Structure 1
Amino acid sequence: MFTESLGLDVVVHLLCMILELNLDNGLKAIIKENHRVPLIILQAFVRTGAIHEGEHLGTGISHLLEHIIYKGPTLNRSEEEVINTLELLGNSANAYTTNDHTSYYIIVSKEHFGVALELIVDCLMNSLIQEDRFQREMGVVQREIEQDEDNPDKALWRLFVENMYRVHPIKFPVIGYKNRLKSLTPEEIDAYYKKKYIPHNMIFTVVGDINAEDALQKIKSVFDAFKRKNELSDYLPDEPPQCNKRIIVQEMNIKAARMIIGYRTVKLSDHYKYPLDLLSSILGAGRNSLLSKLNTTKEERIVSITSSSFTPYFVPGYFAVSATMKTDYLDDAREKILKIFSRLKTIPVKDEDLRRGKNKKISQYLFNNQTLRDEAMELGNNALASHNFCSVDDYVSKIESVRASQIQEAAEKYFCDDQLTVAVITPPSKSNENERKSH
């Protein structure tokens, strides 16, 4: 790839053959050629998620705005025209919102790149916030919140995160709280849109069967019409260190108890990320994992059990074990899981468990990075975190290099009582159940 003739601010990442374009208005575009199939994905990442909502924290305004923008009207197209154009392009498109960003993507055949580019940029930069669509999508999101409230697994994770984090806005659910959501007005949505959906708050990725230099020129020609605006200054408070154990129990109309046991750990940039990622596979991936062996009798008292390591770039993450079990086994299960965490601090992981965990983690990671969408997601997320664009090979090599002693070091440092949070949801106690029946 040669870029001298383009006259653009382009960075070439030769190791993974990626072009990075930085426009004067602040937009960052990342292009990667992949000629395996005659398809292209265009994906935009806007730095606005649940943690960036400022005075609107807890309303889910970023998520509601995503609903309004996706397939919504623009200054140049009616809602029907947007939908019809997507249909003509194959209708392989979607949008989502996370803690730290909102994303929109469309997958098209290579000959439709130009039309798809104009459409997605029009929707991003020229959306109309209309009263009727606002009310319609407000109703849709309220129903989503109600469904989440009735889902015991989502309720459990919400309970865990809200108590793991007391200050940082990651404690707020992406979808928001219903009472706060209902307070939003179309005018507030429009003001938020105009503040956040600006070029220097966006990353635009293109992956697929395309000439990268041609793609850069087309992206520049479409986005150059939008000028740079005032810099955003989202204040994200630091989460203070956790100083004591936190245990939270709630009742819900369910049959089996659910529990999450977790410890505060590290950010994405910390070198302990890789030992912790690998440990999540050693503990919870597959029938021979350490946690799966907790069911020692023919009667499976633990219905399901998994482990995970969450290491975002914007706040220290956590290592967690989540389990669903028969209610009368709750205390025993908690004790056994905590004993496993305790042993990890004093006894190194066995070589066979280390090898099995590496094989599981690497194969899972590579499987999750096969498609064009996987590649575009990886590029966008790495750009948001100012992380290495060539991260697939980098991640695999770092997992391969993890030693048992590094896992033990991480366990000693982070699996401590004063960094422990336990969230539990149980069926109603018999006294409460009888009380409800009497009313």
Structure 2
Amino acid sequence: MTIKLSRKLNSLLIILGFGYLVVFSSPLTLGGRVVDSTKQNNQSAQFILDNGLKVALYRQGHLPLVQLVIGFNVGSKNENPEISGLTHLLEHYLLFRTNQKINNKDISLVIREKGGYYNAHTGRDLLLIEMTLPSENFLFALQCVKQLAFNLDFNASTLEEEKQVILEEIGHLQDDPHRYGTSLTFQQLFRGHPYQQPIHGTPATLAKITKDQIKEFYQRYFSPQNAALAAVGDINLNEAEEKVKQLFSSLTNPSPPSDSLPPVPARKEKSIITKEMDVNQAYLFLGFRGPDYNHDDQYTIDVLTEILGRGINPLLNQVVRGRRELAQSVSMNYTSLFYGGALIISLTLEPKKINQAEKEVIRFLKTLRRQNFSKEDFYGEAQIYVYDFLEQAKNQIFFRTYQAQENGLTLAQSLVRFLLLNKLKERGSYLEKIDKITSSDIRKVAGKYLSQGNYVAIKIIPFDKDK
């Protein structure tokens, strides 16, 4: 018997380029009784199998493709310093282990023969496995995803090969100032919390991870009750639901994960770290704590991020690329995680200007609680001559929202993220919330998150050739 939803699905929305991805605005709930799974306009359906697997289906028929994503509520947050990098190593092994067969054929070869694509991603909160195939191969795609995610067998040589691959990835990351600086910023922002673990681990921790540790970790977290599956594409909802039940209902659960992670500790002081690299320019990363995935401030933060460091005419561009020419480029990004969020401002600049740029950006951020962002902040004829940063940011968000709805794989990723991380009973419409944001709201969250002084500064500068 399958547990069905008692709520109708509302709007399916998603936004790219922000840390917050929005999907079905009604949450996945069991309700008080067993009813038919919901189908709205024959476009979408949600249901939960008896074993706890959450499933979302969305019909998108403009291309003859189907995109599948299965996600597990496990990431670097579930590691300790001794096994840092284990989740990412397991992801590699699940995808690229040798002698992995389906219908007595090599799974990667058959996927390519059918014109398909598959990959996986490890984050701080979730591990995702994704696949795209022509929609006529929907059942085969489900079989492949099930094989990859729920059928672990070990080959010691393959495990060691994947460790070497990840060591190369770590080397590439440490040679890339943008990726390395962002990683260091996260580690410092969430110091004292499992989010501080680097997703790739370190060469020392990877070398010590054993087959038994991976097996124990896999058995603990890779179960249907800790997972969500999304299918987006040219599918028949009734047939798709039956195929999902047929393949996944027989999966069973070991003992449920019992992790009780601590809240992210409050930051009490500023942290500054300087690293030398083989680069010609300098790179400055300023990190601030932001709202988590289920916090209502995230909508205003999305707009503030657009105003400051994205879009057509970002305010930070005026601060550091104006008369003083303190930086060649500046951008800002917001990442929302289950236990907290991160706001990161990134600058590329001359090494001699890095300290002055930091001072100017921090000084400007402290003035945001007094800034005017909309023409509504002015009166009379003055409204004609001011640039409406708020309206421009909203328009950009609306545009990317509608544009992103065409990307089936990103929709599927967003659905899985929602099913596993959402804790709100009613999320409401994302764009309606964005549309209601005022300058007063912007000033309030800017003061709350960007004006406290307890930020992280990561400075990457060229090697000192005189040493």
- Per the normalisation by structure 1, the TM-score is 0.90
Question: What does residue 164 of structure 1 align with?
Answer: 189
Say if 2:251 is the partner of 1:216. no
Of 349, 354, 375, which aligns to 1:330?
Answer: 354
Of 10, 17, 23, which aligns to 1:15?
Answer: 10
Say if 2:71 is the partner of 1:35. no
Alignment of 1:40-119 (within 5 A): 40-54=66-80, 56-58=82-84, 60-72=85-97, 77=102, 81-119=106-144
> Distance in 1 between the 2:74 and 2:197 partners?
14
Of 381, 398, 418, which aligns to 1:382?
Answer: 418
> Is contact 1:306–1:323 with CA below 8 Å preserved after alignment?
yes
Of 441, 444, 451, which aligns to 1:409?
Answer: 444
Distance 1:13-1:55 versus aligned 2 partners, 3 A rule? farther
Say if 2:210 is the partner of 1:185. yes
Distance 1:194-1:56 versus aligned 2 partners, 3 A rule? farther
Say if 2:435 is the partner of 1:400. yes
Alignment of 1:147-162 (within 5 A): 147-162=172-187
The alpha-carbon deviation at position 40 of structure 1 amounts to 1.2
The alpha-carbon deviation at position 71 of structure 1 amounts to 4.2
> Distance in 1 between the 2:410 and 2:262 partners?
31
> Is contact 2:300–2:434 with CA below 8 Å preserved after alignment?
yes
Question: What does residue 307 of structure 2 align with?
Answer: 282
Distance 1:180-1:411 versus aligned 2 partners, 3 A rule? same
Of 187, 190, 201, which aligns to 1:176?
Answer: 201
In proportion to residue count, which structure has more helix?
1
> Distance in 2 between the 1:77 and 1:97 partners?
24
> Is contact 1:342–1:415 with CA below 8 Å preserved after alignment?
yes
The alpha-carbon deviation at position 77 of structure 1 amounts to 4.2
Deviations 1:185-219 (A, max 9, x none): 22322232222221111101111111212211111
> Is contact 2:365–2:451 with CA below 8 Å preserved after alignment?
no
The alpha-carbon deviation at position 347 of structure 1 amounts to 2.3
Amino acid at match of 1:101: L
> Is contact 1:71–1:82 with CA below 8 Å preserved after alignment?
no
> Is contact 1:284–1:305 with CA below 8 Å preserved after alignment?
yes
Question: What does residue 280 of structure 2 align with?
Answer: 255
> Distance in 2 between the 1:203 and 1:180 partners?
29
> Distance in 1 between the 2:148 and 2:335 partners?
32
SS in 1 for 2:219: helix
Between the aligned residues of both structures, percent identity stands at: 24
> Is contact 1:73–1:123 with CA below 8 Å preserved after alignment?
no
> Distance in 1 between the 2:47 and 2:362 partners?
49
> Distance in 1 between the 2:307 and 2:357 partners?
18
SS in 2 for 1:411: helix
> Distance in 2 between the 1:77 and 1:209 partners?
24
SS in 2 for 1:70: helix
> Distance in 2 between the 1:397 and 1:277 partners?
13
The alpha-carbon deviation at position 316 of structure 1 amounts to 2.2
> Distance in 2 between the 1:237 and 1:307 partners?
28
Runs of 4+ in 1 over 4 A off after TM superposition: 54-57, 73-80, 387-391
Deviations 1:142-174 (A, max 9, x none): 111111112111221122122111111111111
Distance 1:287-1:210 versus aligned 2 partners, 3 A rule? closer
> Distance in 2 between the 1:73 and 1:330 partners?
48
Question: What does residue 339 of structure 2 align with?
Answer: 315
The farther-off stretch of 350-359 and 198-207 is: 350-359
Distance 1:13-1:74 versus aligned 2 partners, 3 A rule? farther
Deviations 1:271-290 (A, max 9, x none): 22111110111111245221
> Distance in 2 between the 1:99 and 1:79 partners?
35
> Distance in 2 between the 1:305 and 1:75 partners?
45
CA RMSD between the two structures: 2.3
> Distance in 2 between the 1:56 and 1:214 partners?
45
SS in 1 for 2:265: coil
> Distance in 2 between the 1:389 and 1:138 partners?
41
> Distance in 1 between the 2:410 and 2:133 partners?
15
SS in 2 for 1:251: strand
Which structure has more relative contact order (CA 8 Å, sep 6+)? It is 2
> Distance in 1 between the 2:10 and 2:67 partners?
21
> Distance in 2 between the 1:388 and 1:113 partners?
32
Amino acid at match of 1:26: G
The alpha-carbon deviation at position 179 of structure 1 amounts to 0.8
Amino acid at match of 1:9: I
> Distance in 2 between the 1:308 and 1:261 partners?
11
SS in 1 for 2:145: helix
> Distance in 2 between the 1:335 and 1:285 partners?
21
The alpha-carbon deviation at position 350 of structure 1 amounts to 3.4
> Distance in 2 between the 1:166 and 1:79 partners?
47
Deviations 1:283-342 (A, max 9, x none): 112452211123224x95412100122222x22213221101011111221122112201
Amino acid at match of 1:46: F
SS in 1 for 2:273: strand
> Is contact 1:382–1:389 with CA below 8 Å preserved after alignment?
no
- Per the normalisation by structure 2, the TM-score is 0.84
The alpha-carbon deviation at position 140 of structure 1 amounts to 0.7
Distance 1:166-1:207 versus aligned 2 partners, 3 A rule? same
> Distance in 1 between the 2:95 and 2:103 partners?
12
Say if 2:322 is the partner of 1:296. yes
The farther-off stretch of 400-409 and 209-218 is: 209-218
The farther-off stretch of 8-17 and 163-172 is: 8-17
Question: What does residue 3 of structure 1 align with?
Answer: none
SS in 2 for 1:423: strand
Distance 1:54-1:80 versus aligned 2 partners, 3 A rule? farther
The alpha-carbon deviation at position 346 of structure 1 amounts to 1.8
